[in-house]
Amino acid sequence: MASSPPPFCEKAMTRNRALRRTLVLLGMATLPLIVPVGAQQFSDRAKKIGFQLKCMCGSCSMTAAGCSHPGGEFSGPCPTAKGMLQEADQHVAKGETDEQIVQAFAQEFGTTVYAEPPKSGFSLVAWAMPTVYLVLGALVVIFVISRWVKKNASETTASAVAAPPIAPELLERARKLAERATED
């Protein structure tokens, strides 16, 4: 036989339910007051283009789609970047290509809007530099190493001529000892 809950418990549950409902209603009612900056959803294409554009708020160097600088909202772009994404969405709605949209932003804000230098004109220097450093550095390292190897080879030959020859059995013994030592 199922026993009915005691009156105290029932009262407490009713009070909890009422409290929860009040809290939810209070929460929903105060939401617009507490979070004045509205969150907005943008299309995937606008976000993709946003990663090619720098946030032009002036206080950060993040991309429009990845902007999360202090003062902005952690979960999304700051108001400036949001405006840029909204603008990107307007261009998308007009049927423009990604390149055209980025160019439109470059005309509006200048070349500072690029998140990465374009692969044309003077900007190509920025892309070429790391490869140039690597190739030049590798050439220098290879040159230095081969000079050390040559120097060592010539010194070894000179000392071999000067020094008396080592007995083959002694050499073999030394080799075995070295092998055993390096094995450990």
Partner 1 sequence: MMKVWNVWLVFCTFLLCMLGTFLTRSGVVSSVHAFAQSNIGPWFVAFMGITLAVCLGAYLKNRDYLASENQLDSVISRESSFLFNNLLFLVACVAVLSGTLFPVFSEWFTGNRISVGAPYFNRVNIPIGLLILFLTGVGPLLAWRKTSRESLKRNFGWPVLIGLLAGGVAFALGFRAYYSLASLILCVFVAATILLEFYRGSRVIRARSGASFAACAIDLTMRNTRRYGGYIIHMGMVFVFLGLAGTAFNRDVQKSMQVGDSMQIGPYTLVLQATDSKPEKNYTAQRMMVEVLRGNHPMMMLFPEKRNFLTNKENGTMVAIYSTLKEDLYVVFAGIDPDTQQPVIHAYLNPLVKWIWFGGVTVVFGTLIALLPNRRSVLVLAPAQQPSTVEPVPHGVVASPILREGHD
Nearer to partner 1, 3 or 75 (CB): 75
- Which positions touch partner 1 (CB under 8 A)? 20, 23-24, 26-28, 30-32, 34-41, 51-52, 54, 58-63, 66, 69-71, 73-76, 110-118, 121-123, 125-126, 129-130, 133-134, 137-138, 141-142, 144-146, 148-149, 151-152, 155, 182-184
Q: How far is the CB of 145 from partner 1 (least distance, A)?
A: 5
| 73 and 39 Cβ atoms separated by less than 8 Å | yes
Nearer to partner 1, 8 or 74 (CB): 74
Nearer to partner 1, 12 or 23 (CB): 23
CB burial string 1-37: b at 16+ within 10 A, e below: eeeeeeeeeeeeeeeeeeeeeeeeeeeeeeeeeeeee
Structure tokens at 62: 């993040």
Nearer to partner 1, 6 or 70 (CB): 70
Q: How far is the CB of 168 from partner 1 (least distance, A)?
A: 20
Report the C-alpha gap between 84 and 64 in whole angstroms.
7
Q: How far is the CB of 75 from partner 1 (least distance, A)?
A: 4
| 114 and 65 Cβ atoms separated by less than 8 Å | no
∠ at Cα 27 (26, 33), nearest 5°? 100
